[in-house]
Amino acid sequence: MATVSLESLKKSYGKTEVIHGVDIDIEDGEFIVIVGPSGCGKSTLLRMVAGLEGVSEGEIRIDGERVNEKEPMDRDIAMVFQNYALYPHMSVEQNMAYGLKIAKMPKAEINARVAEAAELLQLEPYLKRRPRQLSGGQRQRVAMGRAIVRRPSVFLFDEPLSNLDAKLRVQMRLEIKKLQRELGVTALYVTHDQVEAMTLADRMIVMNDGAVDQIGAPLEVYANPQTEFVAGFIGSPPTNFIASETIGGQAGTKTGIRPEHVVIAPVGQGNATGLVLYAEPLGAETLIHLTIAGGEAFTVRQDGAVAIPAEGDQVGLSWSDDVEMRFDASGRRF
Amino acid sequence: MEKRVTFKGMWLPLLLVLPQMLITAVFFFYPAGQAVWQSLFIPDPFGLSMQWVGLGNFEFLLSDPYYRASFATTAVFSILVTVVSMGVALYLAVLADRLIKGSGTYRTLLIWPYAVAPAVAGVLWLFMFNTRVGVVTWYLGQLGYDWNHVLNEGEAMGLVVVASSWGRVSYNFLFFLAGLQAIPKSVIEAAAIDGARFWMRFRTIVFPLLSPTTFFLLVVNIVYAFFETFGVIHTITSGGPQQATTILVYKVYADGFVGQDLGSSAAQSVILLLIVSVLTVIQFKFIERRVHY
């Protein structure tokens, strides 16, 4: 249980700055997701908090105490790695007990904690097995167990679900959320998957190219993206961007409209005209891909019950003014 | 699953393995067979006739105190060479693994000694420790230590061990470095977060994960110390002083070619053949299965 504060945190490798200053105050028990495309610096940021990477500038505080110079083991954190990083020559039980043994905890206490974690994670039948005898999902659980038994103040997750198949990922996502709520531990979670970010986060940090574009609650970020990048990255299918002058706006700026805010209208009506390329009926909803004047791609998401226009048809695209998001030439919202 | 290549007929595969089979037959099976055959006879001093003695050569050898002493010498020598060359190599590999800048140069320089032939390595060390003109001997003399491996048995053993280990460090270093680099970095990081400091991580994580490499090198180095150090011993001490560095393989040479006792020499070869067979079996059956994760 702890607060975590990052203050103008920067990281450089030689002369190349890869993280350009991150500021955030994380509250006790909060679930923070750092999301962004690969190479945006999100993992580096997490590794700096863990103490696996040095801090070039700025400060990290855990529970108000500066930890920049502290070794990972002295920061009271636990980390779950993308490839699980289990010790291959130890059984599940030994994997979980390793950190406690090093801390010279009494044997009875170690056994009690491991048993408790194993029960929580349904790992009891596998305690004597080696990691290679487990499935991906089970290994993931062992990695979680190893983090839990130490009762750290902060959990760090580095893309923990990306090596699992789609179904298991959804299931583990729920379990991680449930576990974090039960234990009430502050968590920092790195992912490139915006669905994971939306579903897990109390607040999310959207990173782009080493800088923080926006910090906020998922729905808040979704509804009010502060930059063109955030609008495009959060939401699936992504936001449509069109040059503003084609719909009578200011030259040099862009307008973003989310696919679900657009309604197909008879040709000649609405804000723009599009040519239907193809449709993807998904049952509950249908995605319609079009090109609009100027050849730009455009996607409409409509209810599955609504009639689907034929491929090659010209249709009108209609939306209300208040859903338009306007971005200036530098990508900032205005 | 392993992919198997299948041939239609028998002739092409036979033809393809023939060169290797011929080499093995001419340079291994034929001499080995000869050794086994000769070990059952005692030839006369001029090599004109042979007298059948059955297992007499072996009986004599096993009751010969010199031969038993050579066994002990070989054991001490192999253990020292293996421990020294592997220990130094592991230490250097751990250092090289942590290097970020200049690791290429460091690695290349460490691999160099491997290119030096054992006999040449022997001569190199011999020059440095030569009792009259050796550089190291001179420095030791300045420090008040009178080095003389020609007379001192311990010093002779020390010198052949160092000379034999030297080139071997390169070989072991390569394998240890590869082994270290095959350990996922995140596992080490996980251990660091779990509270293990460097030495603890090395003892509980790195070393156990290196065990396949270590066991492999153990066997290879023992075989090396047993059989391939002839050149070093021959150039530096010729088995002396007082047979203090006469290891089994050197005794085969000394008894056979110097002492002209070909029957005994052949019997010694057969015993060595048995030892290397056992080592190979251990390597294949026991070790390879046990230490892989």
Nearest to A188, CA basis, from A211, A159, A157: A157
How confident is the model at residue A165, as a pLDDT? 85
The per-residue pLDDT for B286 is 64
**Which of A94, A98, A139 to mutate to probe the B interface, most B CBs <10 Å?**
A98
- Kindly identify which residue of chain A lies nearest to residue B187, measuring between CA atoms: A85
Half-sphere exposure in the Cβ direction for A38 (13 Å, CA): 2
Is the Cβ pair B189, A85 closer than 8 Å?
yes
The one-letter amino acid code at A281 reads P
pLDDT digits (tens, 9 = 90+) for A22-36: 899 999 989 999 999
Strand order in the sheet with A154-158: A77-80, A154-158, A186-191, A31-35, A203-208, A211-216
**Inter-chain CB proximity A72 and B197 less than 8 Å:** no
Q: Residue B19 has what pLDDT?
A: 94
CA angle B211, B217, B219 (to 5 degrees): 105
Total residue count of chain A as it appears in this document: 334
Round to whole Å and give the CA distance between B159 and B242. Answer: 15
pLDDT, tens digit, 9 for 90 and up, residues A32-66: 999 999 888 899 999 999 999 888 988 999 988 89
Instruction: Give mean pLDDT, residues B124-138.
Output: 87
Task: Express as a percent the part of chain A with pLDDT over 90.
Answer: 40
Is the CB of residue A327 less than 8 Å from the CB of residue A316?
no
Q: Check whether residue A181 and residue A55 sit in a common domain.
A: yes
In chain B, which residue's Cα lies nearest the Cα of A100?
A: B194
Q: Does B144 touch chain A (CB under 8 A)?
A: no
C-alpha A55/C-alpha A49 separation (Å) is: 9
All residues of chain A having their beta carbon less than 8 Å from the beta carbon of residue B195 are: 73, 99, 102-103
pLDDT of residue B4: 67
Q: Please count the other Cβ atoms lying within 10 Å of the Cβ belonging to residue B2.
A: 3
What does the pLDDT average to over B259-268? 83
Strands (E), A226-310: 240-243, 254-257, 263-265, 272-281, 285-292, 297-303
Q: Are residues A197 and A273 in the same domain?
A: no
pLDDT tens-digit series, residues A288-323: 999 987 788 899 999 988 888 888 888 989 998 888
Does residue A267 carry a pLDDT above 90? no
Q: Is the dihedral of CA B18, B19, B21, B26 positive or negative?
A: positive
- How many Å apart are CA A130 and CA B292, to the nearest integer? 12
d(CA A259, CA A279): 13
Other Cβ atoms closer than 10 A to B200 = 14
B292, closest residue in chain A (CA to CA) = A89
- Token pair 């997750």: residue: A157
Rounded mean pLDDT, A268-272: 84
Q: How many CB atoms lie within 10 A of CB A140?
A: 24
**Residue from A13, A49, A52 whose CB has the most chain B CBs within 10 Å, to mutate:** A52
Q: Do B194 and A98 make contact, defined as CB atoms within 8 angstroms?
A: yes
Answer yes or no: is B178 within a domain.
yes
In this prediction, residues B66-94 reach a mean pLDDT of 92
Length of chain B: 293
Q: Please determine, for residue B202, whether its predicted confidence score (pLDDT) is greater than 60.
A: yes
Q: Does B196 touch chain A (CB under 8 A)?
A: yes
Residue B289: the pLDDT is 56
* B23 within some domain: no
Look at B293 and A77 and tell me if their CB atoms are within 8 Å: no
**Cβ-based interface (< 8 Å): residues of A facing B:** 50-52, 71-73, 77-79, 81-83, 85-89, 98-99, 102-103, 130, 132, 146, 150
Q: Is residue B210 part of a domain?
A: yes
The domain total for chain B is 1
Whether residue A144 is found in the same domain as residue A55: yes
The Cα–Cα gap between B145 and B288 comes to 46
CB contact under 8 A, A98 and B208: no
Query: Do B186 and A82 make contact, defined as CB atoms within 8 angstroms?
Result: yes
Rounded to an integer, the average pLDDT of A77-89 is 91
Q: Is B195 on the interface with A (CB under 8 A)?
A: yes
> Mean pLDDT over residues B20-28, rounded?
93
Whole-prediction pTM value?
0.80
d(C-alpha A309, C-alpha B44), whole Å: 108
A191 confidence band (pLDDT: 50, 70, 90): very high
Interface touch A71/B204, C-beta < 8 Å: no
Q: Which residues pair with A25 in a beta bridge?
A: A5
Structure tokens that stand for A204 in this block = 């999310």
Q: Flag whether A334 is in a domain.
A: no
**What average pLDDT does this structure show over B91-105?**
83
Can you tell me the ipTM of this complex? 0.82
* Interchain pair B186, A81: CB under 8 A: yes
Domain boundary among A179, A209, A232: A232
Residue B80 has which token pair?
A: 């020292």
Q: CATH number for the domain including A217?
A: 3.40.50.300
Q: Over chain A, what is the mean pLDDT?
A: 89
CB B77 within 8 A of CB B243: no
Query: Is residue A82 located within the same domain as residue A169?
Result: yes
Residue A247 confidence class, pLDDT cut points 50, 70, 90: confident
Shared domain for A215 and A160, answered yes or no, is: yes
On whether both A159 and A280 belong to a single domain, the answer is no
Count of CB pairs separated by less than 8 Å, A with B: 62
Q: Assign A167 a pLDDT band (cuts: 50, 70, 90).
A: confident
Q: Is the peptide bond before B241 cis (omega within 30 degrees of 0)?
A: yes
SS3 A185: coil
Domain, as residue range, for B112:
63-290
pLDDT at B212: 85
CB contact under 8 A, A73 and B195: yes
In a domain, A96, yes or no: yes
Within this chain, do residues A161 and A248 fall inside the same structural domain, yes or no? no
Neighbours of A124 (CB within 10 A): 10
For the segment A237-245, the average pLDDT, to the nearest whole number, is: 88
A132 CB neighbours in chain B (<8 A) are 293
At A249-258, the pLDDT tens digits run 788 888 999 9
Tens digit of each residue's pLDDT (9 = 90 or more) over B52-63: 887 878 888 888
Chain A within 8 Å of B108 (Cβ-Cβ)?
no
Nearest-CB residue to B196 (from A83, A102, A130): A102
Who's near A18: CB < 8 A, 6+ residues apart? A11, A12, A41, A44, A210
Q: Tell me, what CATH number does A288's domain have?
A: 2.40.50.140
Determine, for residues A87 and B191 on separate chains, whether the beta-carbon distance falls below 8 Å. Answer: yes
Contact B173, B92 (CB under 8 A): yes
Task: Say how many domains are in chain A.
Answer: 2
Same domain, yes or no, for A221 and A259? Answer: no
Task: Please state whether beta strands A65-66 and A211-216 pair in parallel, antiparallel, or not at all (unpaired).
Answer: unpaired
The pair phi, psi for residue B41, each rounded to 5°, is -125, 165
Residue B57 counted as domain residue: no
Coil, strand or helix at A31: strand
What was the pLDDT predicted at B1? 46
Kindly write down the DSSP assignment for every residue of B224-286, as one continuous string: HHHHTTHHHHHHHTTT-STTTT--HHHHHHIIIIIS--HHHHHHHHHHHHHHHHHHHHIIIII
User: Which phi and psi angles does A300 have, rounded to 5°?
Assistant: -120, 135
Is B170 inside any structural domain? yes
Chain B CB contacts of A83 under 8 Å are 184, 186
Chain A residue whose CA is closest to B190: A85
| Distance (Å, whole) CA B195 – CA A133 | 26
Contact A73, B189 (CB under 8 A): no
CA distance B221 to A104: 38
A332 is a domain residue: no
User: Same domain, yes or no, for A208 and A292?
Assistant: no
Q: What are phi and psi of A273, to 5 degrees?
A: -120, 140
- The answer to whether B204 faces chain A, any CB pair under 8 Å, is yes
Same domain? For A128 and A48 the reply is: yes
Sign of CA dihedral A305, A310, A312, A314: negative
Instruction: State how far the Cα of B240 lies from the Cα of B70, in Å rounded to an integer.
Output: 12
Q: Would A157 be classed as within a structural domain? A: yes
Q: Which of A247, A269, A271, A275 has the alpha carbon at shortest distance from A261?
A: A271
pLDDT at position B77, please? 93
Query: B263 pLDDT band (50/70/90 cuts)?
Result: confident
Question: Is B194 in the A-facing interface, judged by CB distances under 8 Å?
Answer: yes
Provide the residue range defining the domain that includes A86.
Answer: 4-232
How far off is chain A from B197, nearest CA to CA, in Å?
Answer: 8
B266 class by beta-carbon count within 10 Å (0-12 exposed, 13-18 middle, 19+ buried): buried
CATH number reported for the structural domain that contains residue B225 in this entry? 1.10.3720.10
Whether the CB-CB separation of B196 and B204 falls below 8 Å is answered with yes
**Residue B59 touches partner A, C-beta closer than 8 Å:** no
pLDDT tens, position by position, B235-255? 888 877 888 888 888 888 888
Task: Choose one of A201, A217, A232: the last residue of a domain.
Answer: A232
d(CA A231, CA B11): 69
Judge if A153 and A263 occupy the same domain: no
Neighbouring CB atoms inside 10 A of A43's CB total: 19
* Residue A269 predicted with pLDDT over 90: no
H-helix or E-strand spanning residue A110:
helix A107-120
The predicted structure's pLDDT at residue B131? 82
Q: Is residue B151 part of a domain?
A: yes
**Is A161 found in the same domain as A37?**
yes
Confidence of residue B80 (pLDDT cuts 50, 70, 90): very high
Q: Which amino acid is at B47?
A: G
